[in-house]
């Protein structure tokens, strides 16, 4: 601090109106102030403007700010600050998502952050519907301790909380890859096929064990596909027509594409269905297993290299390398144990309505039934999505997949 100067925190409150911040800066400029920091929040047209400045000790600037605030029917107060702290080296973005976020939940989140050594610098609401979401800018603290504490808090209060290190990598995601069954779509396709073959219960039991990690995925898939032997390909088209996109899937993909991101699907399911999805949604990459067909019927076998847990991660790395994208710029989304390696390989792994084994391992988790809620984890506000829809239009959600 220079001789004959003081550091002051100026706080201005009141009814918001255009030009308030510009006018205050004119006053501070005329008073030869040095600007250290500024933060402004407007909630329901009520302004809270905080400015940290260095001012001459003659009190002229404080008098002028008071006069300016009175003219604008605002309240201003001043707090001397002994020193200007250096910015924290650790900064995090904490995303909070839920059908509703209660004061008790917000209080528990705040305490968890504080107990991990973090401080909340600002809070921004990202959406009010179809879910409520906030982004908290946090400085200081230990990320692992914070994440562990917040996961416990989220379970108690039925909300989702994600912790990400703030920085260039978070703001420069360029590739999103996701699982298909129970992620991009609401269904487990193999169970729909099994129902048509009269083997639904048998296949569903194997699927459950595979997705929770109790059974090796490759073995489980071979067992389930064998149960489909003899099924006519005409049934595959009937099943494709029944497939339901997850609510918000079109909005999610369209928004990512509008942001210039590449979007792909990595599925342990089947190309008969994923190819249609990729064409319908305009995806950049699509990988799945291929069912063997002879004389118009399933043989009960898969052709080519099976896409299992390890292969999903390999393909993710291959796509990123082909696109010239660093792994820290990749987002992976999935729900089952078969997605664990893929989530671990990505810079950000997100469990979507995930099984406990995935929810506990993923960087973050989203448990609401809307795929576009993941946009809020990426720091995108709902009004930005709506503005894009208003400008560019939005195809309606459809049931079933169109033929290629």
Please list the active-site residues: 179, 181
Cis omega (within 30 of 0) for bond into 390? no
Counting beta carbons within 10 angstroms of the beta carbon of residue 45, is it exposed (0 to 12), middle (13 to 18) or buried (19 or more)? exposed
CA nearest 28: which of 49, 45, 44, 13? 49
Beta strands in 233-276 (DSSP E): 262-270
Query: What is the CB-side half-sphere exposure of residue 337 using CA atoms within 13 A?
Result: 15
Plot region of 374 (φ>0 → left; ψ -120 to 50 → alpha; else → beta): alpha
CA nearest 349: which of 318, 372, 374, 369? 374
343 with 351: CB under 8 angstroms? yes
Sorted by sequence, the CB contacts under 8 Å of residue 337 that are 6+ apart come out as 210, 211, 212, 213, 217, 309, 355, 357, 358
Pairing of strands 330-334, 262-270: unpaired
User: Angle formed by the axes of helices 200-211 and 189-196, to 10°?
Assistant: 160
Distance CA 346, CA 325 (A): 11
Distances (CA, A) of 236 to 233, 244, 331, 344, 363: 5, 15, 31, 33, 36
Question: Cα–Cα–Cα angle for 338, 340, 343, nearest 5°?
Answer: 125
Distance CA 81, CA 37 (A): 12
CA nearest 286: which of 192, 135, 121, 404? 404
């Amino acid at each position: 601090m220079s001789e004959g100067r003081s550091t002051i925190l100026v706080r201005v409150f009141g009814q918001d109106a255009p030009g308030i911040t510009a006018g205050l800066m004119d006053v501070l400029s005329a008073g030869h102030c040095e600007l250290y920091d500024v933060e402004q929040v407007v909630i329901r047209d009520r302004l809270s403007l905080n400015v940290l400045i260095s001012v001459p000790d003659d009190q002229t600037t404080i008098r002028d700010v008071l006069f300016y605030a009175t003219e604008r029917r605002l309240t201003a107060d001043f707090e001397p600050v002994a020193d200007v702290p250096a910015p924290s080296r650790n900064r995090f973005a904490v995303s909070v998502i839920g059908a509703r976020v209660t004061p008790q939940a917000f209080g528990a989140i705040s305490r968890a952050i504080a107990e991990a050594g973090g401080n909340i610098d600002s809070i921004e609401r990202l959406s009010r519907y179809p879910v409520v979401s906030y982004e908290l800018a946090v400085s200081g603290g230990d990320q692992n301790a914070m994440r562990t504490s917040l996961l416990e808090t989220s379970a108690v209060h039925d909300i989702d909380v994600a912790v990400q290190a703030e920085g260039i990598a978070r703001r420069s995601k360029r590739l999103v890859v996701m699982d298909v069954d129970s992620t991009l779509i609401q269904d487990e396709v193999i169970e729909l096929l099994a129902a048509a073959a009269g083997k639904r219960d048998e296949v569903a039991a194997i699927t459950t064990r595979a997705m929770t990690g109790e059974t090796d995925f490759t073995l489980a898939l071979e067992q389930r596909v064998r149960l489909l032997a003899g099924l006519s390909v005409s049934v595959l088209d009937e099943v494709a027509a029944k497939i339901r996109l997850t609510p918000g899937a079109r909005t999610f993909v369209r928004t990512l594409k509008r942001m210039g991101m590449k979007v792909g699907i990595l599925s342990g399911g089947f190309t008969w269905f994923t190819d249609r999805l990729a064409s319908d949604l305009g995806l950049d990459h699509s990988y799945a297993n291929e069912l063997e067909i002879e004389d118009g019927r399933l043989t009960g076998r898969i052709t080519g290299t099976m896409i299992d847990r390890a292969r999903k991660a390999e393909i993710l790395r291959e796509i990123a390398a082909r696109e010239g994208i660093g792994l820290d710029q990749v987002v992976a989304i999935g729900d089952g144990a078969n997605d664990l390696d893929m989530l671990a390989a990505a810079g950000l792994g997100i469990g979507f309505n995930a099984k406990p084994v995935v929810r506990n391992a993923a960087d973050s988790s989203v448990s609401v039934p809307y795929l576009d809620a993941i946009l809020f984890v990426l720091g995108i506000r709902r009004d930005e999505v709506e503005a894009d829809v208003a400008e560019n239009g939005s195809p309606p959600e459809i049931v079933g997949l169109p033929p290629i």
